[in-house]
Amino acid sequence: MINVTCAIIEKDDHVLVTQRSELMSLPLKWEFPGGKINETETEEDCILREIYEELNINVKVVSKLTPNIYQYPNKKIKLIPFVCHFLEGQIILLEHKEYKWLKPHQLKQLDWAEADLPILEEYLILKNA
């Protein structure tokens, strides 16, 4: 099983979502940015590192939501979500194709990576959205 962190980054009542590129696995699917945990880092170190590496921004972790284990045809992942607040930086897309800042109630209209759906549901309940 692959341990992956992801960040639900909030700023001014909006949430940052990113679209995977044609070249990545799950091409063109929307996700919460993040990535695989290294052996030498904590989950929280991982999410801060991945967000900076992928998007050139700094965030702080606010809370952890419920991890979701999901079996794709070719791999099993444990997706570990963190609600984060945007701190600083200009977004530069270093891996993704596109990004959007959406209000919580707009999030469901995207074509999500399957593993993200229960996480999205939990987040929307938390936000009453």
Whole-number Å distance between alpha carbons of 3 and 76: 9
Q: According to the binding rule CB under 6 A, does residue 24 interact with ligand 8GT?
A: yes
Q: What is the largest CA-CA distance in the chain?
A: 38
**Least distance (Å) between residue 77 CB and ligand 8GT:** 5
Q: Which of 19, 31, 37, 107 binds ligand 8GT (CB under 6 A)?
A: 31
Put residue 128 in one of left, alpha, beta given phi > 0 → left and psi -120 to 50 → alpha.
left
How many other C-beta atoms can be found within 10 angstroms of the C-beta atom of residue 29?
A: 17
66 contact partners, CB below 8 Å, separation of at least 6 = 81, 118, 119, 122
- Decide if 68 contacts 6 (C-beta within 8 A): no
- Binding segment for ligand 8GT among 39-47, 83-91, 99-107, 110-118 (CB under 6 A)? 110-118
Site for ligand 8GT in 49-78 (CB under 6 A): 77
Binding window for ligand 8GT (CB under 6 A); candidates: 29-37, 39-47, 82-90, 99-107 = 29-37
Per CB under 6 A, 116 contacts ligand 8GT = yes
Count of residues near ligand 8GT by CB under 6 A: 16
- The Cα–Cα gap between 25 and 65 comes to 24
Select from 10, 19, 34, 65 the one that contacts ligand 8GT (CB under 6 A).
34
Binding region for ligand 8GT (CB under 6 A): 4, 6, 24-26, 31-36, 77, 79, 113, 115-116
